[in-house]
Amino acid sequence: MGVLRIVTFLFLVSCLWPSWGLCSGGAKPAVKLPKAKTIAELAARYDSSSCQECHEEIYEQWENSLHAYSILGTPRTAPTVLTGVDKGLKLFPYSGVKEDKDIQVRHLMFCAKCHLPQLEEATDDVAVEIVKTIRAWMKEEDEDKAEELEEKIASLNIGCTVCHNTRAIIHKWQYGYPQPDTVYGAQEGEHEHPDFTKMAKSPQLSESIFCGQCHGEGPNFELDEPSQCATLYGSYLFAYIPEGGHESCQECHMRKSGLGHDMQAYRSETMRKMALRVDIDSTSYFWRKNKAEGVIPMALVNVEFFNKCGHAIPDG
């Protein structure tokens, strides 16, 4: 009986251990910040420049990544948002959007869920302003003005605090809700920053599931009008892992690549080189094809591609 009690106690301890060791979140913050009313306000709330002073190298890496241009894109994301508005929202009979002024935050979430999750903290005026700004940028012929508009669009991005605060904890009932004064990473303690004064460990920041929040599994069925772009995490879970793969997203895209927070994909030569093993074999022969065409002198090139990635390529 005593042994059973000890085993039961140890089992309960093991169940609770993860939440003890990584008790980084807390109660759902009772007070929410008022919704941002302009792009500038929303951008300021998620501005990463205050992180630059102490984390210069990481900041420079991030600045080169597409996370820093998540709405602008390469720049093909911003025009795609407009196509979604003009060829989608305005033509859908039940979207409620006939003109740009009808656009609400919920309408843009088909893109913003991943490209700008913080849009949830903004008023519908910001959704309208985003569309208006992209439209103006695409039409602007004056280079300086176009650049100014481009900077405004680029001010909306997946900055430090999106990953290291708002999206840092996935299972909030288990680990608690991200706290407004805490930056989540690999360490805990005090943090020299006027707003984020504490550091806490994020239970999943270095796990693939963390990236899966945006680089997801498939259509966003939770939306009234599901969209779908990134499915890498689905490919990771249902194709890579069953084949025996065991690396995490961060392992390849951050550590082995040496790119750190400059997380890249096919546009990076480093990532392209890491992605594939290609074997080519060739030979030549005479092919006695048929009576009409006779013998054809032929070269044969056999190509074998082995995809070393944790997901199918390409994904776009």
Partner 1 sequence: MPYPGRFGAGAEMGRGPYEKCGLVRDTSLPPLRTVKESFEIPFPYADVEKDGKKTRELTADELNVNTTLWYVPFGEFDGNEVAFFSDERKIELKSEWIWRK
- What is the DSSP secondary-structure string of 123-181? -HHHHHHHHHHHHHHHH--SHHHHHHHHHHHHTSS--HHIIIIITS-S-HHHH-BPPTT
**Contact with partner 1 (CB under 8 A) among 219, 224, 255, 256:** 219
Sign for the pseudo-dihedral over CA of 164, 166, 172, 177: positive
**Contact with partner 1 (CB under 8 A) among 158, 229, 252, 259:** 229
| Nearest C-alpha neighbor of 204 from the set 10, 7, 24, 9 | 24
Q: Does 170 bind partner 1 (CB under 8 A)?
A: no
Q: What angle do CA 186, 190, 194 make, to 5 degrees?
A: 110
In this complex, which beta carbon is closest to partner 1, that of residue 28 or of residue 289? 289
Q: How far apart are CA 183 and CA 54, in angstroms?
A: 14
The answer to whether 48 and 193 are in contact (CB under 8 A) is: no
Where in 110-139 is the site for partner 1 (CB under 8 A)?
110-111
**Contact with partner 1 (CB under 8 A) among 5, 32, 139, 267:** 267
Q: Does 233 bind partner 1 (CB under 8 A)?
A: no
Cα 124 to Cα 71, 130, 169, 201, 258: the distances in Å are 17, 10, 26, 34, 40
Q: Which stretch binds partner 1 (CB under 8 A): 12-20, 63-71, 143-151, 269-277?
A: 269-277
Where in 62-81 is the site for partner 1 (CB under 8 A)?
76, 80-81
**Contact with partner 1 (CB under 8 A) among 1, 31, 33, 278:** 278
**Contact with partner 1 (CB under 8 A) among 2, 34, 194, 314:** 314
Q: Does 58 bind partner 1 (CB under 8 A)?
A: no
Q: Does 96 bind partner 1 (CB under 8 A)?
A: no
Residue numbers of the site for partner 1 (CB under 8 A)? 76, 80-81, 83-84, 87-88, 110-111, 218-219, 225-231, 235-236, 239-240, 243-245, 266-267, 272, 275-276, 278, 280, 282-287, 294-316
